[in-house]
Structure 1
């Protein structure tokens, strides 16, 4: 598969779809909010002054070009989306090239979050490929004067069954482009797939290895300037004054001025240093002297945050029915769990290019959610939305952080001041310490089992920051949310099998900004939930996997538990080994993980192996799934054992990888990934693999040592 430079929608349509030598169709949402769209010609879209999402175009050489409206941050959309279209279009993958589409609100939802790329769009993508195929078949049938039912497509050609006559797609596109796309197409059954379900190599791997792939930091524009920003280490600090005399003495510095960036409705301040090279900007920024106004908000330490959460945990929740059920249980138990704040720490630090003119804005960068940024910039800077272009590059990791609005707005404001295109680069220290962070959380879990060794009562009370810019510790009464949709990551069957459950959340007040982080909610909640399920199994003197199976009663979960036991050889557990299991559910997928640990000769614990099983329903490429699950497990391992963000006097302590430690390759255990085969609707893959690892690991450590690990991160050598 080949990669080409970005091209505007209009230029693409004019040069390809409307030129008379290509068949170009796309998926069109007739109006925002409509759940059903239609497939139309590029020409019809142009005449109707509308826009197409995920266009495909076939030129007279037979080459297929796809414009993808989803970002690519390593999760594999540049492979899986073409693979879907290739299946129904009946072409090979080497005949397809893919490009990024710019943001457009007429596409309908465009976020790259919630593992949504495939589960949200697979039907539309299948329909596009099938529609183009049927149009080409109809064009061939008309040339031959036969019925379309006598023809079929294969390997980018249409073949007449009885005579064997063949016409390539390239020879048919001119006639096919005059045919109206069918309103209904018959899609293949999975048993007939040739491309979908195959472990095909990712098409972007070589470009990323040889340096051809364009990430945000690789993008350059003529006359572009470079900027770094000195930001308040206390998040809400205001610029009282700054001395830039030494800064301006650095050769290449163009300007130094105050700038703002929006964080959930608040404006955080900093001082921008703009120069003709990134090196000059970085060196000059080191000489800048800023006096900050840090009045009006708290300067919290991590210990103060935990103490505040701890106090909140024991505020009573109004659930008399649960209290009665707990009192009637045969045996009860209570436990508390603690999760830390975390930085996103993507491999590629935040960066963005903005070119702001009098009545237009153009953005280039590692953008995880192009549409949100387009709309926000239009409203914030009073530019018509059709004049705001957001171009996506490859992302060196996103994890939710690069879906945020702050860094493109900051770049746009700097460009507006400079009247030139500007690339704003965040240093690693900025990226790691400025937030927003994944919020820390404390959990108070109470539960009991009945005489039949089943869960009779189950409660989790959470004290944590809500996602946002943070709140002040004033006298305002806290609102306790009870039974609000359950607990993230908990398997849905538990809500059917547990007769009495109760969940509540108390918002912790802190000025520290927090936001989503890979597998939002589930990445923290599932640790408490699945560790506590394990504690209840031990309380009931039950095998931990059998105990879960007794409560996960649906056929789908029963199949998952049975296969998890089989692939991990669960019944082969030995006395001196530690085996832990966790089963979680999020973004439409179910994941079971078994972690095996043991003692080394020096008596320190080592992780021997991780068995992972995902039920994501209908899927495209098993290799991409395995890669995503492996990456999720390694990210979960780092969050469990290696790193956390702490605060001292309102400032983030960890500012680079010397203190925010990442797992090293020699620390990664063997990981074995399996995929359930069934006919269920597709679920997510990029996020569901993370939440189960930490509880499975801690449950394994209990199985080996008899010690419960209830606080993350922890050190294996200290257990």
Structure 2
């Protein structure tokens, strides 16, 4: 059976594919967090047609074990990590089990939003408990069949073994008895020291599929009767279609229909013209032949200089909406004779996923079924059910592999557009966005300006005040409720609040028609640059070593150990005059990550990044290789964001169109990166995103250490510093 055939099955098809012809043990994790065993058979499914399988683990009578991946796999490694967790406590061969991506189903799996680095940290405790419960139920069944004490039995590699006699059953021989037993409420989990899989490096299960062509990404998916579409969308978000001439497009071989389409992007609609054909190539060629007259009247056509000028003005004239205040920072700063008062600026950024945005939809009257690279099936179900007047359960979302997501593929706009086109056609359709579509349509990481004010007296911080002016992503999703941006302090380390008595954060509301959305590490990617750059400037004003300065204010044990490790691995204390060292430490999605960047001057001019050291405290973790890969990828993405990438607007339109003017870092640009993971028993933090925010400030702080030049605006060129 191909990987394509294995993915995204109906309940009945799932049971057939899993090989459940008679009896199977299905263990599910319910919203209460309790594990429950139950028996399911094919006759029952055929009769009832609606058996609810809230199952994460399915074991059939021949011993085949199927594990469910409930979140999107977009390169971050959950396809493997979830299986690694389950296989550990279940005692099965990690490379002998089947892994399946599932449909969107909030009743079964809770939130399936793949974002906020939430998959492992949000579910690992329940998955461990569920897997251990499954193991214990199977041991109980074997002990009962042998009429021996449970304590004489143990599980290993998909078998239950009787220690005194050496007798054993494979799991499949026990499922009928096990399914009749009451699962124990409290099972003993392994100590970390006893793990065989967790905490150990292992080769990812999805890597072979992605290198031999078996993996089915959204853009690869095919279903019977599929048509293909490309859409010419108004280059200005709020613009309308005045008229269009489809005559040339309809002459392109393979093009069958051309019509106006309106897709929703949260509470706004975007208009365009859809070209439908018998292949994606023909649809795109037909799109190029279109002639469209746009109506762009009645709204502002923004430009980047105006956007950032307005943000700077707001930061000088508005106190904003208070997010957090302690002590009297305003009083201290206003009366200080000597204060630090600086501005930082971060640009709009594209997600630029390697797999272009795409989606298949099949409108069937009373329901619609979707296949594609989606990060948030639950959001898509919510949105499309409301926009198209369907019951939520009639919006069926099938998950495929994603070729990168970074927040972009959590948006419901492109699935809604595919649904609208399929409804018009009365047939299934795949809509594929071109690279130019992706670059010019957004949504984008918001461009943000920051004002930092601070007072240092006798080498100690007396007060800090931060204000940020940038678009609030929540306003696109749920409207402006008058509240400040809830992510204003994101990235700023919590221990600072315990050690700095006078501190405040405020959000200065700022709006433009530019569509914005979540981007890898969300606001921490921009906040981290401003806040950790400012912390470095305060250290300089206090005439103290930047790493020692942070140590003074990060007094908790975990932060102290992280700083010790950063100092040790980087040789911080042994740096020389011709080397620039920069440090930054940020918190993101319950993980703390410290970067140290070392730079030197190139003989031809400009700056060379010699090395990057990253120390990660993510608490309990699954696979060190995946963590290191995520951090290395974050460094690459952060390097591009700091030194190359910028989306700019002119007359309401995006100026960048493809990788020729929104360039990616090349392999010879990437610095050697050394990743270290702290060991402790704290709760698991995220890892897909926290490795990114600290890089940019560590880099610019290193450049200051080497050259004395402060960089407060991104992006900047390493060649011209």
TM-score, normalization by structure 2: 0.94
Q: Secondary structure at the match of 2:360?
A: strand
Higher mean C-alpha deviation, range 679-688 or range 311-320? 311-320
Q: CA deviation at 1:112?
A: 0.4
Q: 1:510 to 1:595 in 2, by over 3 A?
A: same
- Per-residue CA distance 1:203-241 (angstroms, 9 max, x = gap): 111110111100011001121100000001111110011
Structural mapping, 1:388-403, within 5 Å? 388-403=395-410
Higher mean C-alpha deviation, range 49-58 or range 178-187? 49-58
Q: CA deviation at 1:470?
A: 7.0
Q: 1:15 to 1:74 in 2, by over 3 A?
A: closer
Q: 1:330–1:450: 8 Å Cα contact kept in structure 2?
A: no
**Residue of structure 1 aligned with 2:461, choices 437, 455, 459:** 455
CA–CA distance in 2 between the matches of 1:478 and 1:20? 54
Residue 234 of structure 2: aligned partner:
232
Q: CA deviation at 1:343?
A: 0.6
1:442 and 2:439 matched: no
Q: CA deviation at 1:12?
A: 2.2
Q: CA deviation at 1:14?
A: 6.2
CA–CA distance in 2 between the matches of 1:410 and 1:247? 20
Q: 1:62–1:95: 8 Å Cα contact kept in structure 2?
A: no
Higher mean C-alpha deviation, range 674-683 or range 260-269? 260-269
Runs of 5+ consecutive residues of structure 1 not aligned to the other structure? 30-34, 472-476
1:41 and 2:38 matched: yes
Q: CA deviation at 1:379?
A: 2.6
Q: 2:606–2:719: 8 Å Cα contact kept in structure 1?
A: yes
Q: Secondary structure at the match of 1:196?
A: coil
Residue 431 of structure 2: aligned partner:
424
Q: Secondary structure at the match of 1:291?
A: strand
- Per-residue CA distance 1:496-525 (angstroms, 9 max, x = gap): 111111111112221111111110110101
1:171 and 2:173 matched: yes
Q: 1:330–1:448: 8 Å Cα contact kept in structure 2?
A: no
**Residue of structure 2 aligned with 1:323, choices 320, 326, 330:** 330
Q: CA deviation at 1:603?
A: 3.4
Q: 2:440–2:654: 8 Å Cα contact kept in structure 1?
A: yes
Q: 1:15 to 1:669 in 2, by over 3 A?
A: closer
1:200 and 2:202 matched: yes
Q: 2:582–2:701: 8 Å Cα contact kept in structure 1?
A: yes
**Residue of structure 1 aligned with 2:138, choices 126, 136, 145:** 136
CA–CA distance in 2 between the matches of 1:67 and 1:361? 23
Q: Secondary structure at the match of 2:309?
A: helix
Q: CA deviation at 1:17?
A: 8.5
Q: 2:201–2:623: 8 Å Cα contact kept in structure 1?
A: yes
Q: CA deviation at 1:414?
A: 0.2
Structural mapping, 1:177-192, within 5 Å? 177-192=179-194
Q: 1:16–1:22: 8 Å Cα contact kept in structure 2?
A: no
Residue 685 of structure 1: aligned partner:
687
Residue 111 of structure 2: aligned partner:
109
CA–CA distance in 1 between the matches of 2:428 and 2:403? 22
Q: 1:468–1:514: 8 Å Cα contact kept in structure 2?
A: no
Q: 1:711 to 1:542 in 2, by over 3 A?
A: same
CA–CA distance in 2 between the matches of 1:188 and 1:163? 24
Q: Secondary structure at the match of 2:430?
A: strand
**Residue of structure 2 aligned with 1:262, choices 242, 261, 264:** 264
Count of residues paired in the alignment: 707
Q: 2:356–2:433: 8 Å Cα contact kept in structure 1?
A: yes
CA–CA distance in 2 between the matches of 1:266 and 1:205? 39
CA–CA distance in 2 between the matches of 1:412 and 1:72? 23
Q: 2:39–2:176: 8 Å Cα contact kept in structure 1?
A: no
Q: CA deviation at 1:15?
A: 6.4
Residue 718 of structure 2: aligned partner:
716
- Per-residue CA distance 1:661-701 (angstroms, 9 max, x = gap): 11000000000001000000000000000000000000000
Q: CA deviation at 1:412?
A: 0.4
Residue 414 of structure 1: aligned partner:
421
CA–CA distance in 2 between the matches of 1:510 and 1:169? 59
- CA RMSD across the alignment: 2.2
Structural mapping, 1:68-83, within 5 Å? 68-83=69-84
Residue 474 of structure 1: aligned partner:
none
Q: 1:457 to 1:2 in 2, by over 3 A?
A: farther
1:342 and 2:349 matched: yes
Q: Secondary structure at the match of 1:246?
A: helix
Q: 1:578 to 1:516 in 2, by over 3 A?
A: same
